[in-house]
Structure 1
Amino acid sequence: MKTMGGRQFWGDIQFFQGWKIQQHVISQHYRLLDPKDQRHASGSLEHCRDRLAEMKAARQIPPMQGKAVILIHGIIRSSKSFVKMKESCEQKGWLVVPFDYPSTRRTIPENANFLGKVIQSLEGIDEIDLVVHSMGGLVVRSWLAQQDVVDPRVKRMVMLGVPNRGADMADRFRSNLLFKAIFGPAGQQLVTEANSDFISNLPTPPFEFGIVAGGRNTLKGYNPLIRGDDDGTVAVSSTRLPGAADFILIPILHSFMMNDPETIAHTLRFLETGVFRESGKPQPIPVPQAATVP
């Protein structure tokens, strides 16, 4: 049966060559989807895994290998928001993992649990890179907080408009009933560091990462409700996480970053070389030095 592929009520827990096993956040039951979002099984996890094993054998699906790129969407969105990015990564010969999670129905740490299960399921993969948009970056950082040892296969990550220091808009609307209903528990965790210690306690990635921010490169951005330059949703200052290997600012709105040709070109270059610009010159964000006691 054709499905919508999982939006706000399903979380991925296993991936294999485009096939997914997902869990429903309310009923807790599972289903198996093929790369075209056709459902092939529903019920227990064991049943879905058995059915996947049958499909592997019947269709002679080869094992996974090489490099995988996990695409992680932001709040309210789905992996379908990465259409052009997905196509561009596939043209490089990389296995693309379009990760879906119930962004408005579970907290950020709960959604990080789904990500952890998907990463564990990538058997045969030698290298894992991440491309994350908006809250997707916080899901990754929350996943890192849950790990005693980070999977050594994770090599690089590109953050697109990630509110690493929280979002002014969440501060402004966090008490609004409509905001609470639409954005759910994760929306309450998007507030700035001044209003919550959740984001400030998230770890800095121990692997190489670069940051793409949208903005006008002026004192005021696209949204007058946000302090300083911004992409219409996230302040440029909030995206700047110390420790980044490279940073680049481009004139693009938050919602269009993932499929913008310039953003895609920068992303692919970073995943291949560790820098955004063709010149090969990075603009890292240094980690502040701890003050020394005289």
Structure 2
Amino acid sequence: MTLEPTKPQDGVVLLHGISRTARSFRKMEIAIERAGYATLNVDYASRRKALQELVEDIDPAIELFAGALDGSVHFVCHSMGGLVARAYLARRRPRNLGRVVMLGTPNGGSEIADRLKRFPLYRTFFGPAGQQLGTRRDTTTAALLPPVDYPVGIIAGDRSIYPVAGALLPRPHDGRVSVANTGVDGMADHMVVHASHPWLVRNDAAIAATLAFLQDGRFTPGSARRVG
């Protein structure tokens, strides 16, 4: 009897958004593990450091995780976590990099950050990285986020639970980021689900689409709206 060779196990690094924790990704993490992937759900000091410092903080754990895999290492990121991933992959790209999914990531910046970043309360709460989330990026921040040259799938939301903040954004938006500003040049696929910014990582359609992209490099339409 000939035994089938064991399929190498892929892994997924999960990076939460600003002012969130790894717990926010728990439902997504469980679904990814049930699909057969190893996971690394990273907690990082999103409100206390700039993007370039966060890259250094998360590197040891990701390097160890990626190096222990027999297969590819993928990234699934929420909100600012996608910018952290972009900055990380520009400087510390694993040799076995697979695919990247971003949910509600302000790749083109957030108009809300443009309006609020000069206010002391915003600066205190969101810290150095919060100053890097606007649409008008300085040369240092722009250099951290070069064009993507790896497979990226982007999921945006078009519902808001923030009536005041949402009024500052062009429609459609998720209450924190406009759909238009989630996109990035070179992305492989883009879709919209009916969810607000904080709930994107718990949305069933977004979770199903994430798993589809990790497997095939494309989203499954389902009940979501494809863009492009």
TM-score normalised to structure 1 length:
0.67
State how 1:136-155 maps to structure 2 within 5 Å: 136-147=81-92, 150-155=93-98
State how 1:1-294 maps to structure 2 within 5 Å: 66-122=9-65, 123-125=67-69, 126-147=71-92, 150-193=93-136, 196-201=138-143, 202-215=145-158, 223-277=166-220
Q: Following TM superposition, by how much is the alpha carbon of 1:144 offset from its aligned partner in structure 2, in angstroms?
A: 2.5
Partners of 1:108 and 1:142 within 8 A in 2: yes
Percent identity, aligned pairs only? 36
Q: Following TM superposition, by how much is the alpha carbon of 1:90 offset from its aligned partner in structure 2, in angstroms?
A: 1.1
Structure 2 gaps, min length 5: 1-7, 160-164
Structure 1 residues 225, 278: closer, same or farther in 2, change over 3 A?
A: closer
Deviations 1:227-254 (A, max 9, x none): 2321100011110101111110111100
Q: Following TM superposition, by how much is the alpha carbon of 1:119 offset from its aligned partner in structure 2, in angstroms?
A: 2.0
Greater fraction strand: 1
Partners of 1:144 and 1:203 within 8 A in 2: no
Q: Following TM superposition, by how much is the alpha carbon of 1:169 offset from its aligned partner in structure 2, in angstroms?
A: 0.8
Distance across 2 between alignment mates of 1:174 and 1:140: 22
The one-letter code matched in structure 2 to 1:143 is Y
Partners of 2:9 and 2:36 within 8 A in 1: no
**CA RMSD for the aligned pairs?**
2.0
The one-letter code matched in structure 1 to 2:177 is V
Structure 1 residues 127, 264: closer, same or farther in 2, change over 3 A?
A: same
- Could you say what secondary structure the match of 2:73 adopts? strand
Structure 1 gaps, min length 5: 1-64, 217-221, 286-294
Partners of 1:164 and 1:199 within 8 A in 2: no
Distance across 1 between alignment mates of 2:94 and 2:156: 27
- Could you say what secondary structure the match of 1:66 adopts? coil
Distance across 1 between alignment mates of 2:77 and 2:148: 13
Partners of 1:243 and 1:284 within 8 A in 2: no
The one-letter code matched in structure 1 to 2:111 is D
Q: Following TM superposition, by how much is the alpha carbon of 1:284 offset from its aligned partner in structure 2, in angstroms?
A: 7.8
The one-letter code matched in structure 2 to 1:66 is Q
Distance across 1 between alignment mates of 2:138 and 2:192: 27
Structure 1 residues 284, 199: closer, same or farther in 2, change over 3 A?
A: farther
Distance across 2 between alignment mates of 1:224 and 1:284: 23
- Could you say what secondary structure the match of 1:159 adopts? strand
Partners of 2:148 and 2:185 within 8 A in 1: no
Distance across 1 between alignment mates of 2:201 and 2:139: 28
Report how many aligned residue pairs link the two structures.
211
TM-score normalised to structure 2 length:
0.86
Deviations 1:119-172 (A, max 9, x none): 21123202101100000011011112324xx32211101110000011111111
